[in-house]
Amino acid sequence: MMKIDEKDNALKKLNAVQYNVTQKCATEPAFRNEYWNHHEKGIYVDIVSKEALFTSLDKFDSECGWPSFSKSIARLNNIRDISHGMIRTEVRSVDADSHLGHLFVDGPKELGSARYCINSAALEFIPYEKLEELGYREYIKLFEGENHV
């Protein structure tokens, strides 16, 4: 978990949408967010804690208007969410307890059926070419031998 002063400093750097999504469980508009149609090679990290969460290798187009991933590279907190008249699984980051989005089981069967439907506002993208420079060296190996990004 992040220290309180570290989290407070990180939260001060967020814009209003990022703050509302990560701290107040808001949802950004579908198809009008930064990463829904993003295809660059790299990883996605929690905008608050910078904890690595997802890779471009596991991103797929679910046509829902938000970034969708078949799996996470981090341990996430899954919480039952009964808001808005639905039963869903909320996904939160471990280090910063940021609201990220929701987990559904309607993803591609060949990828395990999971669909992590994540708000772009909860994410920061780290391009593959900058992984080492920005302190994410251990994730470079995930891309070795891949050819589908």
H or E segment at 99?
Answer: strand 99-104
Alpha-carbon distance of 108 to 114, in angstroms, equals 7
DSSP state of 79: E
For residue 4, the one-letter residue type is I
Query: Looking at 14, 43, 76, 117, which residue is catalytic?
Result: 117
Please indicate whether residue 25 is annotated as part of the active site: no
Ramachandran bin of 112, using left for φ above 0, alpha for ψ from -120 to 50, beta for the remaining angles: left
Tokens 């990463």 belong to 35
Residue 52: phi and psi, rounded to 5, are -65, 130
Residues forming the active site: 117
